[in-house]
Amino acid sequence: MKKNWLSLFSALALVFLFGGAPIANAAKNNTNFLNGKPFSTLNDSIEENAAAIEANTTAIGALEADFVALQAIVDSIEVHIADMDTRITANKDSITQALNDISLLSSDLDALRQAHVDDLAAINLTVADLEALINQTQVNLDNAVASLQLQLANLEASTGADIDALIVKTTGLMGDVIVLNNTLQNQQILISDLQTSQSDLENMIAGLEIREAALEGRVSTLEAFHKTFPEQCEMGNDPGTNAPWVVCSADENEAWISANTSGQFHFEQICRDLGYAGAGNWEGTCGNVCGYCQGTTSCTNHGTKKHTRPASSPNCGSDGEGGIICNTVSWLCVN
């Protein structure tokens, strides 16, 4: 558009400039040859046209200046139009997005509206169920009140007869109480007699306890004179592990016990069970019975009697029954 206007004004200017100028110049340069009156008049007209042409040229310059200014305005308008096109495009996109958002919001509103309708229907159904339950509860309550009123009336009607029966029953109970009171007095007499008999028995028991203590003293004295001890080759088993043992030798002061042939032995408890105060030293036997690391031995064929380890150091720990020695061992029981 800008190029079309510029071309039009340029063409008009060229026509006036190059079309009229040669004629005016020719008239000026050839006045010597145009001395007749017609030619004089023509020359005057030519000079007037030349002046008009110069005036038109000035006007055309002004028009061109105005055109340049107008073109600048047109350029500014076109810039504004381009900016407006950009903004219109952006506004179209925003409007499209807004329309999409409105569509989504409309869908959400429709969903919420339907959910509200569904919730309202469910609430109405629940309310109807509750009303039916309340009505049924009221009926049940009315029935219960009527039943209680009937029972109360029956109870009031039967109270007089029940009171008479209670009087008769109370009279009978009073007779029973008198009989029980007499029986209680008799029982108290019997209790007094039993208490007297108990006192006599306690005195007899006290006398027997004195006699028992005297007998125990005599028994202890006799036991001191007649102390028992296990026999040679007497055998037994550990009370906790059932391991076998055998007596190699024994007297009233000491016994030599050996594993027969191996196991775990609560040696202190075995000594107490045999009547001794406790256990003395012990030793391993290398597999010998009643011997120490040598040829064949037994309770009737003794080997070396060696016991160097103290009873306070058993080789297999201890439990609730005391210390434990284990494997092929022998030990001493002492008083």
pLDDT per residue as tens digits for the range 280-306? 999 999 999 999 999 999 999 999 999
Tell me the C-alpha distance between 274 and 276, whole Å.
Answer: 6
Q: How many CA atoms, within 13 angstroms, populate the side-chain half-sphere of residue 68?
A: 5
pLDDT at 27: 45
- Res. 119 pLDDT band, cuts 50 70 90: confident
* pLDDT score recorded for residue 170: 76
Token duo for residue 13: 């200017």
Instruction: Name the percent of the chain lying above pLDDT 70.
Output: 86
- Predicted confidence at residue 21, as pLDDT, reads 46
- Measured CA to CA, the distance from residue 45 to residue 39 in angstroms comes to 10
Work out the average pLDDT over 87-99. Answer: 88
- Per-residue pLDDT at 25: 47
What φ, ψ does residue 305 adopt, rounded to 5°?
-100, 105
Is residue 41 over pLDDT 90? no
8 Å CB contact between 2 and 73: no
Among 18-22, 150-154, 222-226, 309-313, name the one with the lowest average pLDDT: 18-22
Across residues 178-188, what is the average pLDDT? 85
Using left for φ > 0, alpha for ψ between -120 and 50, and beta otherwise, residue 116 falls in alpha
> Measured between alpha carbons, how far apart are the two ends of the chain, in Å?
142
**Average pLDDT over all residues of the chain:** 85
pLDDT bin (cut points 50, 70, 90) of residue 227 is low
Q: Return d(Cα 155, Cα 161) in angstroms, integer.
A: 10
CA atoms 231, 237, 239, 240: torsion sign: positive
Higher pLDDT, 137 or 71: 71
For residue 177, what pLDDT is reported? 78
Residue 309 CB partners (closer than 8 Å, separation 6+): 281, 282, 283, 315
Bridging pattern class, strands 254-259 and 263-265: unpaired
Read off the pLDDT band of 149 (50, 70, 90). confident
Q: Evaluate whether 259 touches 289 at the Cβ level (below 8 Å).
A: yes
Model pLDDT, residue 24: 44
Beta strands 244-250; 325-327: pairing state? unpaired
